[in-house]
Structure 1
């Protein structure tokens, strides 16, 4: 049995993903799969045009191995990644911010806008997860946002 199957319910979504989707009340569609042979560390992405979250099982596993040295916190990490992607899906500013990002050529402004997009998503994730494990979440937020802070202030 593949590792992914251990977490799936009858509806195909891991219980933690289904729980957060229900808690959020979001109408976003969700797909979970491997990154199809591409080596990636991306855990997920949100498509504004399709209102769809794609979670990359192998990317989330790789993040766990890189950040924690094991897959032990996999479910907790999956919850944080999914909550973050839900943050993008439910961000009422995202479309406007994405348009601003497309309309500027200034690298510093692009970084500031991207930081705002990511910060909005993490703020939503923090509220959705109700800071079940705030130290864990704050560590992930710091690691995720660190590249955006370089030169963005």
Structure 2
């Protein structure tokens, strides 16, 4: 994590786009969203601290909360970089992305 390197896997992104939207019509916009989200991880000043926390002896809930926080930070960064993107479009992507993390925390978060 200390390298702040971003890796994108084109075929995985294509599959995700198709699964989420049923077509590749908005693939270019989807790639922009995914890329800025990953840049959000790379730019997150708290990422190393949060990742270190994940390596500590913490409860399952604390681990889930930390993982959610890491993802939320990256999504906030993506939204800042994409102010003109269709909010419904990015909202679907963000909600789908965070759903598993929220589910891990239980129904009060999901």
Which residue of structure 2 lines up, in the alignment, with residue 29 of structure 1? none
Q: Which of 32, 49, 55 is 2:8 aligned to?
A: 55
- How far residue 104 of structure 1 moved from its aligned partner, in angstroms, is 2.9
Q: Which of 129, 134, 138 is 2:87 aligned to?
A: 134
Extract unaligned runs of 5+ from structure 1.
Answer: 1-47
Contact 2:2 2:48 in 1 (8 A): no
Query: Between Structure 1 and Structure 2, which shows a larger proportion of strand residues?
Result: 1
Matches of residues 12-91 of structure 1 in structure 2 within 5 Å?
48-91=1-44
Larger Rg: 1
Alpha-carbon distance in 1 for matches of 2:69, 2:84: 20
Extract unaligned runs of 5+ from structure 2.
Answer: none
Aligned residues: 106
Contact 1:104 1:110 in 2 (8 A): no
1:111 counterpart = 2:54: no
Normalised by the size of structure 2, how large is the TM-score?
Answer: 0.90
Alpha-carbon distance in 2 for matches of 1:127, 1:100: 26
Alpha-carbon distance in 1 for matches of 2:91, 2:56: 31
- How far residue 105 of structure 1 moved from its aligned partner, in angstroms, is 3.8
Hey, which bits of structure 1, 4+ residues long, moved more than 6 A?
Answer: none
Query: Between Structure 1 and Structure 2, which shows a larger proportion of helix residues?
Result: 2
Once the two structures are superposed, residues 21-75 of structure 1 have per-residue CA deviations (whole angstroms, 9 ceiling, x without a partner) of xxxxxxxxxxxxxxxxxxxxxxxxxxx2322111000001100111111111100
Q: CA RMSD in A?
A: 1.2
